[in-house]
Structure formats: C-alpha cells, structure tokens
A = this chain, B = another copy of it.
Amino acid sequence: METTDTEGDATADLPYDVFSRACPSRRTLEHVTGRWGALTLGALSEGSLRFNELRRRVDGVSEKMLSQTLQALERDGLVHREAQPTNPPRVDYELTGLGRAVAERLLSLIHFVEGRMDEVLSARERYDATRGGR
C-alpha cells in the first residue's frame, strides 16, 4: 500500500518535480505562467492570430517581449508558427495540441481569479486597514 516513505510530500515520485530547483519543468512553468506567457496563451486559445493582432490583444506588451515570449512557447512545443513567404509577410501563431491543453487549465485559473476579484479587493482593504499604511 505504501508507495513511498515520504511524509507530506505529494509530488515526490514524479520524474519532473517543479518544486526542486534543478528541474527543467520549473522553467517551462515559468514560461507558461509568466507575465506575458500566460496572456499570450490565453489570447491564442481563442484561435490563430497574427503578430500584431496578438500585440493589440495583449495590452501593454512590447514587440520585443512578445517576440521572445512566442519563441519560448514555440520552443517548448506549445505554439506553432506558420510563416507565409508572401509580400507583405504574413505569420500566424496558433496553439499546438499540447498548448491547447495547457491553455485550457491556465484559463480555468485566469477566469476564476477574474471572477473572484471583488473578494480579493475587499481582502486587500481589510489587510491594509489592519496594518495601517504598511
């Protein structure tokens, strides 16, 4: 019955444990949940988008960061890049199967947080009131 001798260590026997500093899964998680990665995946979950469409959708992202973010996500196999050698050039980005599965779980989290922001905001007011101006 007993699988491991660990106590309170739920993810101990996974090969890619994000809780350990050295594991590559931590880097990938950071790409996915990072400031721009999360929003980019969220935007692409609605369907294929071009570079500047993405840029407009993800409010506040710079060209450079969007470019870097897309490269990281493409490298991790979450986003597919399709370039057409036309003039003017046209490049479409879309989620891979793996990317869709990740984005689905990410959006579940994002929508939940959005839906509970009033609770978060009132919690903040209570915290700040207690601590004075900290």
What residues of chain A have their CB less than 8 Å away from a CB belonging to chain B?
Answer: 4-6, 8-12, 14-21, 24-25, 28-30, 32-35, 38-39, 42-43, 45-47, 57-60, 74-78, 98, 101-102, 104-117, 119-124, 126-128
Q: Which residues of B contact A127 (CB under 8 A)?
A: 74-75, 77
Whole-angstrom distance between the Cβ of A62 and the nearest chain B Cβ: 12
Stoichiometry (number of copies): 2
Contact status A11-B46, CB under 8 Å: yes
Q: Which residues of B contact A105 (CB under 8 A)?
A: 105, 108-109, 112
Contact status A45-B114, CB under 8 Å: no
Name, among A101, A115, A119, A120, the residue most crowded by chain B CB atoms within 10 Å (CB to CB). Answer: A120
